[in-house]
């Protein structure tokens, strides 16, 4: 069964860069793309990056994704952190049998 | 503007059947390539995909919940209906519906936009 593992929490100062990892235990992100969602308290998740490294309109280019095939992991990289970036972030992917979300990373902007 | 809105009971008893409706606007569920998925999120936990209904009446379900789930079309409301049988306390959570333009979510794709969600509590 597909499992996506994320760090439980991360924190960084405004203006800095943070990298949130998502590691899959089977398959590859080359074969089954990763999606990233941002969820603020009391709100539904919204997509911030899709199909590995595509950015929806309206999402600032401070958000990027890096894929490391050697470790079967993807990282959501947020540069120039802003207080507004404080939220939970979830990765999502599939394996042909199921759609799976990662456990989520709570990002705190100090 | 595309919007989705979930409706249904907010409190159900164990062993009962939960029925939720997702009404959509700004697009037709009969439009080629469109799917409406259901995702739930227990309090304080990550989202869990439940299933999806496609424009061509095709459906896909989470393997772990397949035996308890049915997703159908509600043509009168331009939406989809989720039916979950034999609910238990662990089914408590916020239930969301969301649109996808992926033609096979099991091979890739993303959800957006999402509805506001409806908090369903299972309690006796």
Measure CA B32 to chain center: 19
User: What secondary structure does DSSP assign to B57-95, as a single string?
Assistant: S-EEE-TTTGGGEEEEEEGGGTEEEEEE-S--GGG-EEE
d(CA B60, nearest CA chain A) in Å = 9
Mark yes or no for CB contact A99/B105 under 8 Å: yes
**C-alpha to C-alpha distance for B115 and B98, rounded to whole angstroms:** 6
pLDDT of residue A21 exceeding 90, the answer is: yes
Rg (CA), chain A: 13
Q: Determine, for residues B48 and A101 on separate chains, whether the beta-carbon distance falls below 8 Å.
A: yes
Contact residues for A2 (Cβ-Cβ < 8 A; gap 6+): A24, A25, A26, A27, A93, A94, A95, A97, A98, A100
What sign does the CA torsion over B110, B2, B77, B123 have? positive
Q: Look at chain B and count its residues.
A: 124
The percent of residues above 90 in pLDDT, for chain B, comes to 81
Residue A82 has pLDDT above 90, yes or no: yes
CB contact under 8 A, B112 and A100: no
Predicted pLDDT of residue B108: 85
Structure confidence by residue, pLDDT tens digits, A3-12: 999 999 999 9
Tell me which range, A94-98, B25-29, B87-91, is most confidently predicted by mean pLDDT.
B87-91
Give the pLDDT of residue A56. Answer: 95
Using the beta-carbon criterion (under 8 Å), do A99 and B63 form an inter-chain contact?
Answer: no
State the best of B45, B54, B111, B117 to mutate against chain A, taking most chain A CBs within 10 Å. Answer: B111
**Chain-chain contact of B110 with A100 (C-beta, under 8 angstroms):** no
Minimal CA separation from A13 to chain B, in Å: 24
Specify the pLDDT at position B76.
84
What is the mean pLDDT of the segment spanning A18-29? 95
Mean pLDDT over B41-51 rounds to 98
Map tokens 């700004």 to a residue. B26
| pLDDT at residue number A11 | 97
Name the least confident of A57-71, B19-33, B59-73.
Answer: B19-33
Contact B66, B50 (CB under 8 A): no
Residue among A43, A77, A75, A74 at smallest CA distance from A60: A77
What residues contact B67, with CB distance under 8 A and at least 6 apart?
A: none
Question: Measured between beta carbons, which residues in chain B are less than 8 angstroms from residue A95?
Answer: 106
pLDDT surpassing 90 at residue B104: no
Are B105 and A98 an interchain contact pair (Cβ–Cβ within 8 Å)?
A: no
Cα A52 to the center of its chain, rounded Å: 10
Closest residue in A to B111 (Cα–Cα): A47
Q: In what order do the strands lie in the sheet with B48-54?
A: B11-12, B118-122, B93-100, B35-41, B48-54, B59-61
pLDDT at B78 over 90: no
Measured in whole angstroms, how far is the alpha carbon of residue A16 from the centre of its chain?
A: 17
* B14 interface with A at CB cutoff 8 Å: no
Closest chain A residue to the Cα of B64, Cα to Cα: A98
């Amino acid at each position: 069964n597909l499992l996506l593992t994320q760090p439980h929490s991360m924190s960084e100062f405004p203006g800095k860069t943070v990298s949130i990892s998502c590691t899959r235990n089977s398959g590859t992100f080359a074969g089954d793309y990763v999606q990233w969602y941002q969820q603020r308290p009391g709100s539904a998740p919204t997509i911030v990056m899709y199909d590995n490294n595509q950015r929806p309109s309206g999402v600032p280019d401070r958000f990027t994704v890096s894929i490391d095939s050697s470790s079967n992991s993807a990282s959501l990289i947020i540069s120039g952190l802003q207080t507004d970036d404080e939220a939970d972030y979830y990765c999502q992917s599939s394996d042909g049998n199921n759609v799976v979300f990662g456990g989520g990373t709570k990002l705190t902007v100090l | 503007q595309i919007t989705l809105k979930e409706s249904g009971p907010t409190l159900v008893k164990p062993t009962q059947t939960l029925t939720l409706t997702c009404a959509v606007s700004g697009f037709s569920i009969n439009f080629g390539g469109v799917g409406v998925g259901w995702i739930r999120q227990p309090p304080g936990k990550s989202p869990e995909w439940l299933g999806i209904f496609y424009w061509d009446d095709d459906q896909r379900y989470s393997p772990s919940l397949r035996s308890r789930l049915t997703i159908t079309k509600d043509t009168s409301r331009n939406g989809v209906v989720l039916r979950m049988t034999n609910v238990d306390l662990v089914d408590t959570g916020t239930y969301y519906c969301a649109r996808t333009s992926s033609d096979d979510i099991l091979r890739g794709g993303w959800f957006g936009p999402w509805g506001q969600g409806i908090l369903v509590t299972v309690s006796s």
